[in-house]
Chain A
Amino acid sequence: MESLERVYREEFGRVVASLTRRFGDLDVAEDAAGEALLVALERWPVDGVPANPGGWLTTTATRKAIDRLRRESHRDAKHQAAHMLHDDTPHEATGVVEDDRLRLIFTCCHPALAPEARVALTLRLLGGLTVPEIAAAFLVPETTMGQRITRAKRKITAAHIPYRVPCAADLPARVDAVLAVLYLVFNEGYLSTSGDAPLREDLTAEAIRLARILRGLLPDATEVTGLLALMLLIDARRTARLAPGGELITLDEQDRSRWDRAAIDEGHALVRECLALGRPGRYQLLAAINAVHTDARDVRDTDWSQIAALYTQLAGIDPNPIVALNRAVAIAELDGPEVALALVDALPLDAYHAWHATRADLLRRLGRSEEARAAYDRALGLSDNAAEAAYLSRRRDQLGG
């Protein structure tokens, strides 16, 4: 039942978050949420989807959790019982539940957890994806992914990672950690090869969905809005990015009529909102850069000086060579490939496939075919993406001589 799955996925995070607060145990919460789903699968096709599915699931899951705790003999049984006795507030559809999901997101993305663990935990507990789904999306065995999640939950318990929203002083850094997780999930989905496309597209949709939730919970955090805008503007171009044969189509060659205009319009509105608030950050600037690209109906209309200026601003707050590389690409459009090549050659990015690909393109435009060919070969050697490799091969083979 498709709509059931959608509803369940929407509500899973809320249910887990609420139960975790009540019972102080992620395992209990997760298992109970899963059991509530089984009951829903039985009853909803017969009784219909309830008016407040979240409330129904939370109530059912709570009962399951209580049953389980009564059955098992815990060392701290008295503590659990005290919890049950003191907290019998009825489920609310808003307010308290939203706070709980915020606690859950920050706990899943705690800096004490390894980055892969944060991603896995977020997708499992907030996204409601199953372990097999997450394992397939990240191309690791199911047992590996299962262990990763189990170990993360154990560490949360053993190290006493608190279940709460960080204090004001810690909030900016902790929000950054959450955004990094969401962006990583998004990129996993967006940059995948066509082989696993259906599951990977789920990842981009999930990242966007979680970013929307985060924006609802933290409306004043401009970087959250910036990340949402960035993901919408990149995802809007998805259908134009791959040729039927699976080859990557670069921005300058994409059929812009295939872009998702609704997503672009929403992205632009969010970027304007960020600009008005005047608290620029990394994701906001990346979103603004993408907005300049998506604003151009034709590639020849691209406002490259705006893009170059934005990259310069980005380099100011994020002085890493990859930003400099992307800025050089914009400079090539303004000052020519020779000036850009000088900038690119100065960067210590010999191990990065995109650096060689950029050099190859600039050398090609300068008519230095032999050097361009060598650069394409280096890029191909370093690339692990089939769609991109197909594109690089074609470009290299188009070189004369």
Chain B
Amino acid sequence: MSQYFLAVNHDPADTTMDEMTPAQMQELFAAVDAFNTEVKEQGAWVFAGGLQPLEMSTVVDNTGAQPVITDGPYAESKEYLGGFWVIEAPDLDAALVWAQKGSKACAGKVEVRPFQDEPEA
């Protein structure tokens, strides 16, 4: 079994979410809920969550002499992480099936990244 990080990235230029009616948002939440339930029932669930918007984040840099704490995102890129699932799957093909379902449920692109293998004890 291997673990995969399924990232849902948010592009600020994409306003489809902002333009959704409350009813449409409810539909989206229901779809994601149903997906999450399926992942858990199939035993593939490790962890998942939706993140607060980028303005809520704080950057900590303790690589120097003193820790530096600042407001704002770490990366300069336009796209940023909105939410994610961590799943367990036997191989990439199985992970991609989950990603297809997740992408349909959250109406967004899903990026599938494998975790590094843990070094053997």
Chain A positions near chain B (C-beta within 8 angstroms): 75-76, 110, 112, 158-162, 166, 170
Contact = CB atoms under 8 A, between A and B. Distances in A.
Given A112-B92, A112-B96, A166-B93, A159 B114 contact: yes
A222 B17 CA distance: 43
A160 B92 contact: yes
B120 interface: yes
A161 B120 contact: no
A177 B63 CA distance: 46
B58 interface: no
B91 A162 contact: yes
A361 to B, nearest CB: 43
A43 to B, nearest CB: 39
A170 B93 contact: yes
Interface of B: 2, 90-93, 96, 112, 114, 119-120
B91 A160 contact: yes
Contact of B93 (A75, A76, A158, A162): A162
Given A160-B90, A170-B93, 16 more contacts: A75-B119, A75-B120, A76-B120, A112-B92, A112-B96, A158-B114, A159-B92, A159-B114, A160-B92, A160-B114, A161-B91, A161-B92, A161-B93, A162-B92, A162-B93, A166-B93
Chain A interface mostly:
loop
B89 to A, nearest CB: 8
The 3 tightest CB contacts between A and B, nearest first, are A162-B91, A160-B91, A159-B114
Nearest to A111: B96
A162 B89 CA distance: 11
Contacts of B114: 158-160
A166 B96 CA distance: 13
Nearest to B120: A75
B31 to A, nearest CB: 21
17 contacts: A75-B120, A76-B120, A110-B92, A112-B92, A112-B96, A158-B114, A159-B92, A159-B112, A160-B90, A160-B92, A161-B92, A161-B93, A162-B90, A162-B91, A162-B92, A166-B93, A170-B93
Contacts of B93: 161-162, 166, 170
A160 B96 contact: no
Nearest to A167: B93
A76 B117 CA distance: 12
B1 to A, nearest CB: 10
Contacts of A110: 92
A148 B27 CA distance: 43
Nearest to B89: A160
A162 B97 CA distance: 13
Nearest to B114: A159
B120 A160 contact: no
B7 to A, nearest CB: 14
Nearest to B91: A162
Nearest to A158: B114
Contacts of B119: 75
Nearest to A169: B97
Contacts of A158: 114
Contacts of B92: 110, 112, 159-162
A112 B113 CA distance: 11
B108 to A, nearest CB: 19
A157 to B, nearest CB: 10
Nearest to B94: A162
A151 B114 CA distance: 15
Nearest to A156: B92
Contacts of B120: 75-76
A170 B93 CA distance: 10
Nearest to B1: A160
B104 to A, nearest CB: 16
A20 to B, nearest CB: 15
Contacts of A75: 119-120
Contacts of A112: 92, 96
Contacts of A166: 93
A166 to B, nearest CB: 7
Contacts of B96: 112
A64 to B, nearest CB: 26
B27 to A, nearest CB: 26
A161 B112 CA distance: 12
